[in-house]
């Protein structure tokens, strides 16, 4: 009886495991208009991601994973897979079923975003990472400007900067500065409970090793703390 039950379970489970293999054709979103809507990756586990198709030879892709909650730009769909930009300047295929519209709730008032933000504890004697969020020129939009730094050995200092406007959707603010493959992409998510902002960028917002990643907290700077 146990063997028969096991066999029956396997038979009814096979259809649910079936999934079309990912396309092996090149996935390129470089010519999409700037107003292309963004999507969010959904689900409870890592999302299959086939990228760099054709780089290692015709008919091949690199197999990877993306995390749920990541904002992506979505393009063409093929055989149950959609071409997306993962935010790190690569294009690849993810299962279409793992894409969803960016939630519009909870709505965050613009006033909650506005102000000075810093990441980590300030370090005396060096320039610290700062963001200033103000109202944008367009109705319902915000302008984000600021700098981040990476300190190497000796006097080796790299910096990155952002200055761009966009309208938030729910707790998300998707910022794109530039209009090509080298554009700076910065995604911010407002945590209403903690009153903090989580940031993710595509490593193209400044010098080598400079990132805006991490948790940002609001602060009231003194005149000495402001960038000159």
Verify that 123 and 207 share a domain, yes or no.
yes
6 located within any domain: no
What is the number of structural domains in the chain?
A: 2
225 located within any domain: no
Verify that 91 and 183 share a domain, yes or no.
no
Look at residues 67, 83, 101 and tell me which one is the last residue of a structural domain.
101
Q: Who contacts 85 (Cβ-Cβ below 8 Å, separation ≥6)?
A: 29, 72, 73, 75, 91
Which residue range(s) make up the domain with 121?
A: 110-219
195 located within any domain: yes
The per-residue pLDDT for range 133-158, each reduced to its tens digit, is: 999 999 999 999 999 999 988 889 99
- Would you say residue 171 has pLDDT above 50? yes
Residue 66 near residue 83, CB atoms below 8 Å: no
pLDDT of residue 180: 64
Look at residues 101, 118, 139 and tell me which one is the last residue of a structural domain.
101
What are the DSSP E strand ranges found in 32-126?
38-41, 47-51, 62-66, 71-78, 81-85, 91-95, 99-101, 115-119
pLDDT of residue 122: 81
Verify that 122 and 41 share a domain, yes or no.
no
Phi, psi values for residue 16, rounded to 5°: -70, -20
Verify that 132 and 51 share a domain, yes or no.
no
Instruction: From 76, 97, 71, select the one nearest 189 (Cα to Cα).
Output: 71
């Amino acid at each position: 009886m146990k063997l028969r039950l096991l066999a029956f379970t396997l038979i009814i489970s096979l259809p649910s495991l079936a999934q079309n293999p990912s396309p092996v054709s090149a996935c390129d979103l470089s010519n999409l208009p700037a107003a292309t809507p963004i999507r969010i990756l959904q689900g409870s586990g890592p999302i299959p991601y086939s990228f760099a198709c054709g780089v290692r030879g015709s008919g091949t892709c690199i197999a990877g994973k993306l995390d749920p909650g990541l904002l992506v730009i979505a393009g063409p769909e093929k055989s149950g897979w959609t071409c997306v930009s993962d935010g790190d300047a690569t294009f690849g295929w993810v299962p279409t079923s793992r894409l969803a519209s960016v939630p519009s709730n909870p709505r965050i008032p613009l006033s909650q975003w506005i102000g000075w933000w810093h990441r980590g504890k300030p370090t005396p004697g060096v320039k610290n990472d700062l963001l200033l969020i103000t109202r944008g020129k367009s109705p319902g939009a915000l302008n984000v400007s600021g700098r981040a730094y990476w300190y190497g050995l000796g006097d080796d200092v790299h910096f990155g900067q952002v200055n761009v406007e966009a309208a938030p959707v729910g707790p998300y603010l998707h910022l794109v500065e530039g209009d090509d493959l080298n554009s700076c992409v910065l995604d911010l998510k407002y945590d209403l409970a903690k009153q903090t902002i989580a940031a993710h960028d595509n490593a193209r917002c400044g010098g080598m090793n400079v990132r805006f990643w991490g948790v940002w907290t609001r602060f009231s700077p003194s005149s000495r703390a402001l960038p000159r």
